[in-house]
Chain A
Amino acid sequence: MKKTSILDVISRKLSPFILLFGFYLVTYGHLSPGGGFQGGVVIASGIVLLLLCQGTERVQKLFPLTAVSFTEALGFFAFLAMGFLGIFLGSGYLSNFLPIGTPGEVPSAGFILVLNIVIGLKVGAGITLICFYLFKEED
């Protein structure tokens, strides 16, 4: 069955907005519904849309497998590092040590913003990896 050009055009036009929406959910997670995990899944769904419509090779040129794996491992380690920084600078593992600004602005609520970004990257990379491996055709 020949693929029409609808999938190609729509996926290329739509997925940057999906990625942008994912980043919005991640960074505004402490001000409106959203957060690290939710935004990460939306980011991953943007990449999976590209994967379904463009094929594995083209998407892997844009998001190479080693870079995505490294992002996931880095996100894991960054979360642990934030926790340990909590031990050194504050009072106990994962305690809030950044200044809490005025509520309603983006850089407020201490380090929840940083954790959201870390988790968003990790989850996005993780779910993208899951879909890469599930869609790989084994010969």
Chain B
Amino acid sequence: MLRIYLILILFLLGVFGIILCRNLIKKVIALNIINSALIILFIYLGSLSGDEAPILLDQTGIIVDPVPQALMLTAIVVGICVTALALSLVYKLYKAYGTLDIQEIEKKARENA
């Protein structure tokens, strides 16, 4: 139970990071922390039911649950794609507005509109 609370604290760290950080790259890093927390949560849940890696070589070991691992592979891939896209958008925003601070960018966008 303590471990699930620790993982939830990691998740909350990411959420607070996304809201409170002003730098755009820190927001993207916080999004990655949220993704990592979820991935660890799922794999921890799967690992509770066994001892060994989920590859059946001689049918005698008690393997962990392979389903969350498969699900989380997909989630990792999706997370990487979203991070890559977010970073390229941040780069374009930096070239357009000259700063990485979200409040200054919004102020400049409001003045231009």
Contacts and interface: CB of A to CB of B under 8 A. Distances in A.
Contact of B77 (A37, A103, A133): A37
B77 A33 contact: no
Contact of B87 (A31, A33, A127, A134): A134
**Main SS of the interface on chain B?**
helix
Contacts of B53: 32-33
A1 interface: no
A103 B56 contact: yes
Interface in A93-138: 103-104, 127, 130, 133-134
B13 interface: no
B57 interface: yes
Contacts, number: 22
Contacts of A30: 55
A103 B59 CA distance: 10
A68 to B, nearest CB: 16
B57 A134 contact: no
A22 interface: no
Interface in B39-95: 53, 55-57, 73, 76-77, 80, 84, 87-88, 91
Contacts of B80: 41, 127
19 contacts: A30-B55, A31-B55, A31-B57, A32-B53, A32-B55, A33-B53, A33-B55, A35-B73, A37-B73, A37-B76, A37-B77, A41-B80, A103-B56, A104-B57, A127-B80, A130-B84, A133-B88, A134-B84, A134-B88
Interface of B: 53, 55-57, 73, 76-77, 80, 84, 87-88, 91
